Amino acid sequence: MDMPNAPGRAARPRAPGFTLVEMMIVVAIVAILAAIAYPSYQGHVIRTRRAAAAVCMLEVAQFMERYYTTHLEYADRRGRAPAIPAMQCRTDLQAHYMIDLADGTTDVAYSVQAVPRGVQATRDTKCATMAINQLGGKRESGTAATAAECF
């Protein structure tokens, strides 16, 4: 409500804009929303990287099955596993997972594993290292109740 002008004083128009209190309320609301949204976003990123690693492991497993169909064994005569060819998924995930054959590949068995690295290793304690073998058996070394939660 405008007050009548005192005698001898000119009316001063109100400047357009926001008051400091209004700005502080907006900043507080944005901070609260960010505090809620950021952890959710981080969890989504971890789960997305884990899913990408699981798909990449399946791609390596498919390579091993193709190798088996042409050589009738998963390892050569000297017991060495074949070199995994360059795959885009392994390149894309190399900062977050090391995806390769686990030690112990024989002529009748193999296991592909995805070992988390860096931030993924510290934040993804649910699944940690994931693996899939020649029978399609999946396992994880984290705190998940079943491997199905990770794949």
pLDDT of 8 reads 63
Classify residue 34: in a domain, yes or no. yes
Classify residue 79: in a domain, yes or no. yes
pLDDT of 6 reads 60
pLDDT of 94 reads 94
Classify residue 9: in a domain, yes or no. no
> Does an H or E element contain 141, and which?
none
Classify residue 3: in a domain, yes or no. no
Classify residue 91: in a domain, yes or no. yes
Cα(119)–Cα(46) distance, integer angstroms: 9
Classify residue 45: in a domain, yes or no. yes
Q: How far is Cα of residue 38 from the mean position of the Cα atoms in its chain?
A: 14
Domain count, the chain: 1
Classify residue 27: in a domain, yes or no. yes
* Helix/strand/coil percentages in the chain, nearest 5: 45, 10, 45
State the 10-residue block means of pLDDT for the chain, 151 residues long: 60 78 94 94 94 96 95 87 92 95 91 95 93 94 89 87
Classify residue 14: in a domain, yes or no. no
Residue range(s) defining the domain that contains residue 122 = 20-149
